Chains A and B, each alone.
Chain A
Amino acid sequence: MSALPSSILRLVKDGPERRALDAGEVDAVIDAANGNVVLLPLAKRALSRAASSAANSLLAAVPRQDYQRLLPELEPVTLTYGEVLYQPGQRLRHVYFPSDAHVSMLVVVDGGKALEVGLVGREGMVGIALALGVEHSPVRALVQGTGTALRMQSGAFLEELARCAPLQREVHRYAYAKLAQARQTAACNRYHLVESRLARWLLMTRDRVRSDRFHLTHEFLADVLGVRRVGVTNAAGDLQRRKLIAYRRGDITILDRSGLEAASCPCYGIVRNLAS
């Protein structure tokens, strides 16, 4: 292993502590003179990496001590744009807690046509059906925004869910929010204008990626809105003319957030309030 800084070696001269240090089994050294905790370089790196990825709201609700028990089961993965995590009917082997990735839930009808029914980002998880006792995915889970997530095996997730009441509470609350979101979306798809629905969907994406700029293809937006591509062109053109967004080859920039909120149907606010 690499040589340790002398500031650390000075604190641990001999005994089992020194043997563990030399074996690379130590994360931190406590300075007996003042109680300062000195992290070893490797631990420091790992902790700063973890701090940036423990950004998922469901996991953040888990008490610190439970979270530490959970950590060995959480595998950091990178989800890539276009990757399909599940097809409908596929067995749910893992659940995913996105940090900065976002994943779209699509219902596939008539052998090919897809309609988006939900969006999952750092506020939620992919594989929620498992928490309700369903072992197979009812939807297609398609990665929309490349980013990181923490992945957990289904068995471990169910065990933890049974053991950790705060996690259970959060997961159930989230499952309810998803149900309400689907309900609202069903009504919205039927009654609201394409422009308003596009505005709503762009705001929802923005909330999940926490950025005013993101990439969405025409084809995907057509799936989301359940319209043909020309419908997307018209709706995006309308929002662009009103200077609410800039849209170029799938690169979207939200220029006026409150204007976009005003242009969106009330469903945006309703769903957002349910989730918080």
Chain B
Amino acid sequence: MARANNKTLRLRLYVAGGAPNSVRAIANLAAICKEHLQTAFKLEIVDVLQFPLRALADGVLVTPHLAKLSPSPATKVVGNLSDRGSVLLALGIGK
């Protein structure tokens, strides 16, 4: 998996405005990125309250929802991202 890492890590986080779990998810993700991601990555935050159709088109059922778009395989984590282990696993970052 580490070898597939030539492509930039692209993430998309779907949130519901400033709702508590969404705020927590952003803070948790920011902490994880700061600590574990030394290389460049792209993070897009999509507010489903503003863009509900994007969530629908991307098959997002609940927020918060973190999607790893690249490198493949595409993965997702739902919830407020407080379970750091499952986030790292989904992002393909070493233990």
Instruction: Give chain A's interface residues, CB within 8 Å of chain B.
Output: 11-12, 16-17, 19-21, 23-30, 32, 35-37, 39, 42-43, 46-47, 50, 54, 64-65, 67-69, 71-72
Selected from B17, B56, B78, the residue in CB contact (under 8 A) with A47 is B17
User: Is there contact, CB below 8 Å, between B78 and A26?
Assistant: yes
A-B residue pairs in contact (CB < 8 Å), sample of 13: A12-B62, A16-B76, A16-B79, A23-B79, A25-B78, A26-B21, A26-B64, A27-B15, A35-B56, A37-B16, A69-B26, A71-B23, A72-B27
Query: From residue B72, how far is it (CB to closest CB) to chain A in Å?
Result: 19
CA A16 to CA B15, docked complex, whole Å: 16
Instruction: Give chain B's interface residues, CB within 8 Å of chain A.
Output: 15-24, 26-27, 30, 45, 47-50, 52-53, 55-56, 60-64, 76-80, 82
User: Is there contact, CB below 8 Å, between B45 and A16?
Assistant: no
User: Is there contact, CB below 8 Å, between A68 and B26?
Assistant: yes
Q: List chain A residues, Cβ under 8 A from B27.
A: 72
Selected from A16, A37, A68, A69, the residue in CB contact (under 8 A) with B52 is A37
User: Is there contact, CB below 8 Å, between A64 and B47?
Assistant: yes
Q: List chain A residues, Cβ under 8 A from B26.
A: 68-69, 71-72
Please list the 8 inter-chain residue pairs (A to B) with the smallest Cβ-Cβ separation, ordered nearest first. A25-B79, A20-B79, A43-B19, A27-B19, A28-B16, A35-B56, A27-B16, A72-B27
Q: List chain A residues, Cβ under 8 A from B82.
A: 25
User: Is there contact, CB below 8 Å, between B18 and A28?
Assistant: no
CA A236 to CA B79, docked complex, whole Å: 58
Which applies to chain B's interface (DSSP): helix, strand, loop or mixed?
mixed
User: Is there contact, CB below 8 Å, between A29 and B23?
Assistant: no
Q: Look across to chain B and name the residue whose beta carbon is closest to the beta carbon of A29.
A: B62
Selected from B23, B56, B78, B79, the residue in CB contact (under 8 A) with A68 is B23
User: Is there contact, CB below 8 Å, between B52 and A72?
Assistant: no
Selected from A24, A37, A64, A65, the residue in CB contact (under 8 A) with B48 is A37
Known contacts A65-B45, A72-B24; is-contact A43 B16 (Cβ 8 Å): yes
Q: Look across to chain A and name the residue whose beta carbon is closest to the beta carbon of B59.
A: A32
CA A27 to CA B47, docked complex, whole Å: 12
User: Is there contact, CB below 8 Å, between A35 and B79?
Assistant: no
Q: List chain A residues, Cβ under 8 A from B79.
A: 16, 19-20, 23, 25-26
Q: Look across to chain A and name the residue whose beta carbon is closest to the beta carbon of B22.
A: A27
Q: List chain B residues, Cβ under 8 A from A71.
A: 18, 23, 26
Selected from B53, B55, B62, the residue in CB contact (under 8 A) with A17 is B62
Q: List chain B residues, Cβ under 8 A from A39.
A: 16, 19
Q: Look across to chain A and name the residue whose beta carbon is closest to the beta carbon of B58.
A: A30
CA A126 to CA B18, docked complex, whole Å: 24
User: Is there contact, CB below 8 Å, between A17 and B61?
Assistant: yes
User: Is there contact, CB below 8 Å, between A25 and B21?
Assistant: yes
Q: Look across to chain A and name the residue whose beta carbon is closest to the beta carbon of B49.
A: A37
Known contacts A35-B55, A72-B23, A72-B27; is-contact A30 B17 (Cβ 8 Å): no
User: Is there contact, CB below 8 Å, between A46 and B18?
Assistant: yes
Known contacts A42-B20, A68-B26, A69-B26; is-contact A35 B52 (Cβ 8 Å): yes
User: Is there contact, CB below 8 Å, between B20 and A27?
Assistant: yes
User: Is there contact, CB below 8 Å, between B80 and A25?
Assistant: yes
